[in-house]
Structure 1
């Protein structure tokens, strides 16, 4: 499995979030506390929206080496400031360790990253891939279930309705797996953004999803911890969504409920129930 972080809010140096916290994403690449594997060394990636540029498309840096000793990652993170960025460290579930399989995945202004897996992926991979829209199919570069999930969501209307598109993607994966006799196929925590809002999803077919947390509102954290200077630099809208907490600051982290999704946006956030959507209507099936 993998670990990831999504940041939205006051522009900061990427290193302030990726490297500096006590249990930062880089620390988690070696010492994960809540992942299936302790070590996540099968590649990494960061995606960020540059400030004051003519394009709204994000920049992406991905590589196959472990995050903890990559000099380019450290160099970029210490010199790049952004108000919306993703970071991901990979532990492969069977597909090749190659740059095109590292998250986050990008299509136009969209970024996508995933922790989890599709069980029996090798058996249903062809059926899933053939459902991707023809005009999108050629843009798939890797061999992971995560990338196919992204392109299915794009096919099912991500640009117009992100929650609905992810629900239709999840329903299609489960329906396809069911036809092949694969039980409980989907395990996912997903983050996706268009550069303005971040959607985060926690769902699994068996109802035992991987961990996911969202940070407490900054104004509440300032009241709890007036001595923490870093909090004074952040806007009230700043939020982080993470696979596991970046430290042990009391009151800082809240577990995202099972089978739910949240949206982080400039005017606040909200949490909603998540249910896959099937061709014959919304779930559950059976």
Structure 2
């Protein structure tokens, strides 16, 4: 399973989150402790907002720990809002197009989890995209498809409602294919350049982990803490919708019906 983090607050160097902590995201790409898959070596990505409404995006197929460009970039880039993701593929090819975060206009999306037996439902779900959204599809992952479905179903108007609509659609198609013994799982994060929304959800069972922590300069949301001392990190409960506005984190229950 993938690992990710999202930060917003006072501008800081990306390196302060990606490399410097003693269990940093780059360290987690080699040895995650809260994931089914300990090694996340199928590419990585980082995205950050600056003076323009659209974000900068850097994605690569190399493991995060071996990319000198990422280290240099992170040491010299400051942002008030950024996200990063290290990937463990659940089946899709390792390519830049399949690395998170995904970007459309001012929106960013990243995801940990999967649609089980995705190839069995992929055709029906892709058919739900109208032509403008379909033409934005560059890769082959279930994550990018979820993002584009959210864009089509009102993400820019009501993210929580869009998530309900899209997850319901996914679970209906899973049911139609008789995929009832495996859950849809998601720990995902979305930004429009002004705030974050996140979701920790599973159809049944335990969803992927998610935590947050207030830091001196702002707030961090992450798949797992980037510090070995974790007592200040708060776990997001299962079936929860998260809103991060400024340094305020609001957690509410999330249900499909």
Cα shift at 1:244: 0.6
SS of residue paired to 2:149? helix
Give the one of 221, 233, 239 matched to 1:241.
221
1:20 and 2:20 are equivalent in the alignment = yes
Structure number with greater Rg is: 1
Task: Provide the residue aligned with 2:164 in structure 1.
Answer: 167
Q: CA deviation at 1:252?
A: 1.6
Instruction: Give the aligned CA root-mean-square deviation in angstroms.
Output: 1.1
2:185 is equivalent to residue 155 of structure 1: no
* Residues 177 and 185 in structure 1, CA contact (< 8 A), matched pair in contact too: no
SS in 2 for 1:275: coil
Gaps of 5+ in 1: 219-230, 277-282
Could you tell me how far apart the structure 2 residues matched to 1:35 and 1:247 are? 15
Give SS of 1:72's match. Answer: helix
TM-score (norm 2): 0.97
Summarize the Cα distance change of 1:207–1:22 in structure 2 as closer, same or farther, 3 Å threshold. same
Q: Deviations over 1:220-269 (max 9, x none)?
A: xxxxxxxxxxx3xx2xxx11111111113353201100100111112622
SS of alignment partner, residue 78 of structure 1: helix
Deviations, residues 178-233 of structure 1 (Å, cap 9, x unaligned): 01101144111000000111011000111310111011x44xxxxxxxxxxxx3xx
Match runs of 1:220-235 below 5 Å: 231=216, 234=217
Q: Partner of 1:4 in structure 2?
A: 4
| Residues in 2 aligned to 1:212 and 1:270: alpha-carbon distance in whole angstroms | 14
1:122-133 superposed matches below 5 A? 122-133=119-130
Q: If the length of structure 1 is used for normalisation, what is the TM-score? A: 0.87
Could you tell me how far apart the structure 2 residues matched to 1:67 and 1:44 are?
6
Q: Residue 34 of structure 1: SS of its match in structure 2?
A: coil
Q: What is the aligned partner in structure 2 of residue 197 from structure 1?
A: 195
Shift of 1:155: 0.9
Query: Which residue of the partner structure matches residue 49 of structure 1?
Result: 49
Aligned residues: 256
CA distance in structure 2 between the aligned counterparts of 1:7 and 1:36, rounded to whole angstroms: 24
Q: In 2 relative to 1, CA 267–6 (structure 1 residues): closer, same or farther, beyond 3 Å? A: closer
Q: Distance in 2 between matches of 1:268 and 1:24?
A: 23
Q: Secondary structure at the match of 1:244?
A: coil
